[in-house]
Amino acid sequence: MSGNRAAARISLASLRAHKRRFVGTFFAVLLGVAFLGGTLVMGDTLRASFDTMFGNATSGTDAVVRSADAITTPDDGAGSREPVATSLARDLKRVDGVAAAEPSIQGAGQLVGKDGDAVGGQGPPTLAGNWITDEELGAYQLADGRAPRAPGEAVINRGAAKTGDLDIGDSTVLRTPQPVKIKIVGIATFGGEDGMGQVTFTGLTQEDAERYLTAKPGQAASIQVRAGPDVSQDELVKRLEPVLPGGIEAITGQESAEENLDQISGAFLTMFTALLLVFAGVALLVATFSIHNTFAIVVAQRTRENALLRALGAARRQVMAGALTEAAVVGVAASLAGLLGGIGLAAGLQALFRAVGFPFPEGDLVISALSLLLPLVVGVVVCMGSALAPALRAGRTAPLAALRETAVDHSGASRARTLTGAVLGAVGVGVTVLGVLADTPSVMLTAIGSVLTLAAFVVVGPVASSLAVRALSGPLGSLRGVTGALAGRNALRSPKRTAATATALMIGVSVVSLFTVFAASLKATMNETVSRTFAGDVAVSVPAFGGGGSGLSPGLAPALDKLPQVDTALGLGRGVAKVDGSGRQLTVTDPAALSGVLNLGDVEGNFTGLGKSGIAVSASEAAKHHWRLGSTTQLTFTDGQRQSFTVRAVYEEKDLAGEYIITREAWAPHRAQDADSLVAVSFKDDEAASDGKEAVEKVAMNWGNPEVQTRDEWAESSAGGIDMMLTLVYALLALAVLIALLGIANTLTLAVHERTRELGLLRAVGQTQAQLRAMVRWESVLVAAFGTLGGLGLGGFLGWALVKAAVNSGDGAFALPPQQLAVVGLVGVAAGALAAWRPARRAARLDVLRAIATE
């Protein structure tokens, strides 16, 4: 025991003496842990505050009565339910123990702000409904003004009022999607907040709501019930159940709130935190390489010291324990600091979100035991795990090494390593490609292959680094003379070290380029889809992403059709039905006119004359269900009605047209709120096309001013959401790259320390400070360039594999965006120069005499 104490004492003393060496390690761990801790704390905090907000908002609702069945399509997790009759509310009011019961009518309604622009619509839903007059029952409470009483009067939530610069007394338009003129008479809050996140809400009178938001008056999405005194929620549900008609259910307010929470915040938060955790993982992985490298170098530099300890009688175990103690001390200190940083980060983000107008609900930070323990444990484990191999090596130091010159590890390009790396790489690439080229592309296989490929890169790194640095420093030598040559030689000195340093950056860059390639490919796929299947000239569409907006008015397409320039203007709406038992989206349109604006590929059968009982299906769905022309299938609509449809046409291109097409007549009896999601327009001839877009825009102005885009513009904007995601991903990955840079800087600092005498000699024989700084900088740039190039290559390859394996069974377009990748490359290399800034300055400030006199 006392032996270990001595080892601990020595390692603590050496930590104190060489604090600077561990600055990089410290910050790498700190940043990773802070990110992880911050993510966990923020996730918990947001979840808790959403919880409170929903609790507050729905505390007055004791039971919700609604239809029991929901039709869920793959695209919409919440599903659509059959409406209930508003008259049911009257019956429920009579039940003993019911204090209030009101129908809740819900639909989409987008407000137009004071400046004429729509409020929200990119992302969170824009809702409209009837204003529930019972003060305790409604989720929204009046904060100012009064409830709507006359037709055209409305209450809007405070968040929407702020965004749209609207106030009580203002008149504006609500797109449902038919433009409805409304006058604002009240401002509402949701659970005490400005709104439910970014969701906007407009409350109308019940008659207005029935008129504009439902297909048929007398229908509501659900009926909200408040219990009288001394009646519990469960008791209330029990009392309601006997009076409910068939197919209608009652759930407690509690259950309803949980369901809503789950749908709106739960799924979003889970995805959000999962995404952040992935990036925390990437950051920590990068940190592992940097930390490992630091410890490996420190152990190598301390060979003589350790050998002396061994010669004086220290056991292997003691020397090893000494090295591990250092790692543990650094790990614990950095993790604790990181934890504090993480909590600070979460608090800062909470404030930031509010500052930029993202109204996450207020609430105290929620710090669970898990979010304290996990980052701490991960930080210490990463730190000690990274130091394990170097510590073992330290323990194996031969006592005789004390007598030899300090040896820097020059090994690396061994035959076994090359061979292992090559085999691993071949297997990795093979499995990846197999995952892509298999009959049914497998993301799983591709993922396994990717991990193997990455491992191969790590193994083969030292070999590759020699080759790459040699190739890169060739031109550098002729460009930058002896300074460049020296930088190249320095980078070549310890291939293992160069590789480990570069690997950290490589992982960061490869993830960045993987996302870049994947996003570019998705965009290309969308672009290709539009250009392949859109035969029209302009498209009028709702925002391409999120659940916002209210769609296009069904009146728009007929209005556009009357323009002299227009040949065909066709509206495409969306419907939902169960097909053979599973929920599916339907395209509701005039199929006869479809071929004028969409390219449907090979078509069997005929689109004309689908009538009320005909349906057109995509070739792939037809194959799946073994349908042929004339087959019949049963559709169940959200109103519970079933109807047989006969397959009248089978078409190939489904990207814009969807899997199923029915006529408006067939849909009409079952429709909910009426809206088109796209109006496709084709012009009569080229002459008409020249002023056609303007004419269409003029008409569209009267229908809520939706976006009118040419084919190219439309394709471009379809991909707008991808760019936004990509920006977010870049911001998150900046952390991993930053940690990699710390690693490079740290390695350089240690190398400069190691080469003190050499630097002194160079300065003595006439290297200027500027030349010395340039030498260190170029070495860093070479290492960074190697890492960046490797990352670009790996990221590009994995991006290709992912695109091919994941997107629509291999028919996704693969695109390498040269400009963006060039920017990523430049940033990587420039970052290398930046990392060298401090080490280079320190090296240049070396006192020549002391450098020569060292040892």
Contact range with other proteins by CB under 8 A, out of 37-45, 56-64, 475-483, 790-798: 475-483
**Whose Cβ is closer to other proteins: residue 482's or residue 830's?**
482
**Whose Cβ is closer to other proteins: residue 230's or residue 405's?**
405
Report the site for other proteins in 342-381 (rule: CB under 8 A): none
Contact range with other proteins by CB under 8 A, out of 276-284, 380-388, 483-491, 644-652: 483-491
Q: Least separation, in Å, of the C-beta of 481 and other proteins?
A: 6
**Whose Cβ is closer to other proteins: residue 301's or residue 490's?**
490
Contact range with other proteins by CB under 8 A, out of 436-444, 477-485, 573-581, 700-708: 477-485
**Whose Cβ is closer to other proteins: residue 426's or residue 849's?**
849
Report the site for other proteins in 239-278 (rule: CB under 8 A): none
Residue 388 makes contact with other proteins by CB under 8 A: no
528: Cβ–Cβ under 8 A, 6 or more apart, which residues? 813
**Whose Cβ is closer to other proteins: residue 473's or residue 663's?**
473
Pair 328, 7: CB distance under 8 Å: no
Q: Least separation, in Å, of the C-beta of 760 and other proteins?
A: 9
Q: Least separation, in Å, of the C-beta of 459 and other proteins?
A: 26
Residue type, 407: A
**Whose Cβ is closer to other proteins: residue 370's or residue 471's?**
471
**Whose Cβ is closer to other proteins: residue 447's or residue 751's?**
751
Task: Choose which of 489, 664, 838, 842 interacts with other proteins (CB under 8 A).
Answer: 489
In which element (H, E) is residue 738 found?
Answer: helix 720-754
Q: Least separation, in Å, of the C-beta of 849 and other proteins?
A: 6
Residue 842 makes contact with other proteins by CB under 8 A: no
Q: What is the DSSP string of 482-526?
A: HHHHHHHHHHHH-HHHHHHHHHHHHHHHHHHHHHHHHHHHHHHHH
Task: Give the binding-site size for other proteins (rule: CB under 8 A).
Answer: 25
| Helices 267-301, 303-311: inter-axial angle, 10-degree rounding | 60
Estimate to the nearest angstrom the gap between the alpha carbon of 372 and the chain centroid: 25
394: Cβ–Cβ under 8 A, 6 or more apart, which residues? 299, 302, 306, 319, 320, 322, 323
Q: How far apart are CA 316 and CA 314, in angstroms?
A: 7
**Whose Cβ is closer to other proteins: residue 341's or residue 839's?**
839
**Whose Cβ is closer to other proteins: residue 68's or residue 764's?**
764
List the structure tokens of 218: 């007398």
Q: What is the DSSP string of 594-662?
A: HTTTB---SEEE-STT-TTTEEEEEHHHHHHHT--TT-EEEEEETTS-EEEEEEEEEES--TTT-SEEE
Estimate to the nearest angstrom the gap between the alpha carbon of 833 and the chain centroid: 30
Q: How far apart are CA 372 and CA 354, in angstroms?
A: 25
Q: How far apart are CA 712 and CA 716, in angstroms?
A: 6
Residue type, 120: G
**Whose Cβ is closer to other proteins: residue 52's or residue 771's?**
771
Query: Which residue has tokens 């004429």?
Result: 116
Q: Least separation, in Å, of the C-beta of 405 and other proteins?
A: 10
Number of other residues whose CB lies within 10 A of the CB of residue 149: 10
**Whose Cβ is closer to other proteins: residue 409's or residue 561's?**
409
Residue 407 makes contact with other proteins by CB under 8 A: no
Give the CA count within 13 Å in the CB-facing half-sphere of 317.
Answer: 5
Residue 849 makes contact with other proteins by CB under 8 A: yes
Q: Least separation, in Å, of the C-beta of 843 and other proteins?
A: 14
Looking at the DSSP assignment, which residues form a beta bridge with residue 579?
A: 582, 635
List the structure tokens of 118: 């729509």
Contact range with other proteins by CB under 8 A, out of 175-183, 418-426, 486-494, 809-817: 486-494
Q: Least separation, in Å, of the C-beta of 478 and other proteins?
A: 12
Pair 660, 619: CB distance under 8 Å: no
**End-to-end Cα separation, the chain, in angstroms:** 35
Q: Least separation, in Å, of the C-beta of 764 and other proteins?
A: 5
Q: What is the DSSP string of 259-296?
A: HHHIIIIIHHHHHHHHHHHHHHHHHHHHHHHHHHHHHH
**Whose Cβ is closer to other proteins: residue 146's or residue 410's?**
410
Q: How far apart are CA 146 and CA 59, in angstroms?
A: 21
**Whose Cβ is closer to other proteins: residue 267's or residue 770's?**
770
Pair 608, 592: CB distance under 8 Å: yes
Pair 239, 97: CB distance under 8 Å: yes
Q: Least separation, in Å, of the C-beta of 848 and other proteins?
A: 6
List the structure tokens of 198: 């970014």
List the structure tokens of 787: 């890492």
Residue 482 makes contact with other proteins by CB under 8 A: yes
Contact range with other proteins by CB under 8 A, out of 175-183, 197-205, 246-254, 846-854: 846-854
Q: Least separation, in Å, of the C-beta of 486 and other proteins?
A: 7
List the structure tokens of 797: 């390859």
Task: Choose which of 15, 392, 813, 848 interacts with other proteins (CB under 8 A).
Answer: 848
Q: Least separation, in Å, of the C-beta of 301 and other proteins?
A: 16
List the structure tokens of 413: 């390009």
Q: How far apart are CA 649 and CA 642, in angstroms?
A: 21
Q: Least separation, in Å, of the C-beta of 320 and other proteins?
A: 30
Report the site for other proteins in 726-785 (rule: CB under 8 A): 757-758, 761-771
Q: Least separation, in Å, of the C-beta of 832 and other proteins?
A: 20
**Whose Cβ is closer to other proteins: residue 313's or residue 766's?**
766
Q: Least separation, in Å, of the C-beta of 854 and other proteins?
A: 9
Contact range with other proteins by CB under 8 A, out of 1-9, 314-322, 618-626, 847-855: 847-855
List the structure tokens of 806: 């994941």
Q: Least separation, in Å, of the C-beta of 777 and other proteins?
A: 16
Q: Build a one-symbol-per-residue string for 491-530: x at contacts with other proteins by CB under 8 A, - elsewhere.
A: -xx-------------------------------------
Q: Least separation, in Å, of the C-beta of 757 and other proteins?
A: 5
Contact range with other proteins by CB under 8 A, out of 466-474, 482-490, 531-539, 744-752: 482-490
Q: How far apart are CA 172 and CA 114, in angstroms?
A: 7
Rg (CA), the chain: 33
Interaction site with other proteins (CB under 8 A): 481-483, 485-486, 489-490, 492-493, 757-758, 761-771, 848-849, 852
